[in-house]
Amino acid sequence: MSPLDFLANLLNPDLAFLPKALAVAVMSSVVCGVVGSFVVLRGMAFIGDAVAHAVFPGLAVAFVVSGNLVLGGTIAGVLTAILVAVFSQNRRLKEDSIIGVFFVAAFALGIVVISSAPGYAGSLQQFLFGSITGIPDSDLWVVGITSLLVLAVVFGLHKEFVTISLDRESARALGVPVFGLDLTLYILVTLAVVISVQTIGNILVLALLVTPAATARLLTDRLGVMMALAPAIGALSALVGLYVSWSWDLPTGGTVVLVLTAAFLLGWTLGPRHGLFSRNRQRAARAASTHAGGVPA
């Protein structure tokens, strides 16, 4: 299928689900790219994966009772975070061990809950791997409003998030409310994960949160540029992934992730300063300079 044919399908009223899927995918990519910049900067990829597990029981309960998925996932994520915070007070165990226990338990609870719903197999597959055909108009509005809210909070607290990301101890000494900002960022990650689940799935959503930001990190040293590049890379990958999946009848979530991975590999190889070829040239230049400096006049 050519790009023009794909554009015609987007404008075809009989395929109304396709532009909705594209809109949700792009909005999710933008939000995940912005929030994911702080996740990558702080080395919080494990937290992102844990959040994807934590929101699952809330999504499952909301699905079973025909409730709001964003609200259900957010409540589940926040409750799980509170449990982790409480049990982490026991210094006998490290926080990552507590996270491993509760987030996997939350995921298991979600599977048990959704197994009680009619059409269990199809519903589970939709949550785990995403679905481009099941996005109602109401969810489109919810995703749009939630995306604007998340972006507003991120940009409103941008300086504070940067401060605690670069030097937490100094920020704490200066009186910056580190715990409150950590909790706020966790909630933002939760919202980013929840609005992305329908398009890319619960299992693959970590890629949308981390891969665009990691790719942007390879391309620039400036946080502001990184936060602009990451959502752009994510949105473009979502568009290309949806086009390829629709053209070749492939799973949308998996295709989008593969496109994101290809973009990361290009950045890792061809990045202007931190890419493989650039680093090799820099090493060769340093070696030549050292050798020239060591030759007697």
Q: Which residue has the tokens 């994510």?
A: 234
Alpha carbons 57 and 237: distance in angstroms, whole number: 28
Q: Residues 11, 25, 256, 126: is their CA dihedral positive or negative? A: negative
**Torsion over CA: 68, 70, 73, 78 (sign):** negative
pLDDT at 232: 95
Domain range for 246: 3-294
How far is it, in rounded angstroms, from Cα 128 to Cα 131?
9
Helices 17-41 and 178-200, interaxial angle, to 10°?
150
Give whole-number Cα distances, 87 to 52, 84, 91, 103, in Å.
20, 5, 9, 13
User: What is the DSSP-derived secondary structure letter of residue 202?
Assistant: T
Divide the 297 residues of the chain into consecutive groups of 10 and give the mean pLDDT of each group. 83 82 87 90 75 82 79 82 69 71 84 75 61 70 89 92 81 82 84 79 81 92 89 93 88 88 92 72 72 56
How far is it, in rounded angstroms, from Cα 151 to Cα 198? 20
Rounded Cα–Cα distance for residues 215 and 275 (Å):
10
Helix axes 17-41, 45-54, angle to 10 degrees: 140
List the Cα angle 262/227/184 in 5-degree steps.
Answer: 115
* pLDDT value for 211: 93
Contact of 289 with 282, CB cutoff 8 Å: no
* pLDDT confidence of residue 71: 82
Nearest to 215 by CA among 137, 133, 277, 271: 271
- pLDDT recorded at residue 221: 85
How many residues are present in the chain? Answer: 297
* Nearest one of 37, 28, 34 to 238, comparing CA atoms: 28
Whether the Cβ atoms of residue 61 and residue 113 lie closer than 8 Å to each other? yes
Q: What is the predicted pLDDT for the residue at 156? A: 93
Q: Which helix (H) or strand (E) holds 271?
A: none
* Residue-level pLDDT at 69: 74
CATH number of the domain within which 173 lies: 1.10.3470.10
Total tally of structural domains belonging to the chain:
1
Q: What's the pLDDT score for residue 122?
A: 57
Query: Could you give the residue ranges of the DSSP H alpha helices within the chain?
Result: 3-10, 17-41, 45-54, 56-64, 69-87, 95-114, 120-129, 137-156, 158-166, 168-173, 178-200, 205-219, 223-248, 252-270, 276-294
